[in-house]
């Protein structure tokens, strides 16, 4: 009986650990990017995707970025989102250090409205891809939705959640009534 209890407890620990293991990582270059990147976090929460989110700068903490990215696959990660503004090299450096799919979110910068971030995220050399999304909050939201779509290719339940999300969105658009 005691050993059964031990096994049950052990199994529950294992189950919880597995469910809590982040499979999507959200990295951003600065705490000032969090207001934008909350959009990714909110979508992943809505879909129940275990994820982590943290500040790691390609320029201010380059070794830590390389360590995070190169160890991500072994930690069970499936997709990494990298967001940065201005000289936005974070997603590219992550991609250089992992075989996982990397999605880039250009943060809207105060000086150039995010055009600098967009170009430095999207213009990767052939051989190291970054899937770059739109500038700012739309990009952050879509990066998470794209991560969900990638995960949904091997998860039928998640695919149905994604379908329901799209259907709800369509219904909301069709229900719009404009005031004359
Ligand atoms: C980038 O520089 C960050 O991703 C951020 O968007 C921008 C400004 O950073 P802070 O000066 O606000 O820390 O590296």
pLDDT of residue 20: 83
Q: Contact 165/42 with Cβ under 8 angstroms?
A: no
Q: Is the CB of 116 under 6 A from ligand 1?
A: no
Taking the centre of ligand 1 as the mean of its atom positions, its distance from the CA of residue 120, in whole angstroms, is 13
Bridge pairing between strands 51-55 and 24-28: parallel
Is the overall model pTM greater than 0.75, yes or no?
Answer: yes
**Would you give per-residue pLDDT tens digits along the chain (180 residues)?**
455 544 454 444 443 334 589 999 999 999 999 999 999 999 999 999 999 999 999 999 999 999 999 999 999 999 999 999 999 999 999 999 999 999 999 999 999 999 999 999 999 999 999 999 999 999 999 999 999 999 999 999 999 999 999 999 999 999 999 999
Taking the centre of ligand 1 as the mean of its atom positions, its distance from the CA of residue 29, in whole angstroms, is 6
Strand partners, 82: 27, 104
Q: Is the CB of 40 under 6 A from ligand 1?
A: no
Task: Using the atom order of ligand 1, give the atom closest to the CA of residue 31.
Answer: 13
The angle that helices 137-152 and 34-46 make with each other, rounded to 10 degrees, is 30
Task: Using the atom order of ligand 1, give the atom closest to the CA of residue 107.
Answer: 6
């Amino acid at each position: 009986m005691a050993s059964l209890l031990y096994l049950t407890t052990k199994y529950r620990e294992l189950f919880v650990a597995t469910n809590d293991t982040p499979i999507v990582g959200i990295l951003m270059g600065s705490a000032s990017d969090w207001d934008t990147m909350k959009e990714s976090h909110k979508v992943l929460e809505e879909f129940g995707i275990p994820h982590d989110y943290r500040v790691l700068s390609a320029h201010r903490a380059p070794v830590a970025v390389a360590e995070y990215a190169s160890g991500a696959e072994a930690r069970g990660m499936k997709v990494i989102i990298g967001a940065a503004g201005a000289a936005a090299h974070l997603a590219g450096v992550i991609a250089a250090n992992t075989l996982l799919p990397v999605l880039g979110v250009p943060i809207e910068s105060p000086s150039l409205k995010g055009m600098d971030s967009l170009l430095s995220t999207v213009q990767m050399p052939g051989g190291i891809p970054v899937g770059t999304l739109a500038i700012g909050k739309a990009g952050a939201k879509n990066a998470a939705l794209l991560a969900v779509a990638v995960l949904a290719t091997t998860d039928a339940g998640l695919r149905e959640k994604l379908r329901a999300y799209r259907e709800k969105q369509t219904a909301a658009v069709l229900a719009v009534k404009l005031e004359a």
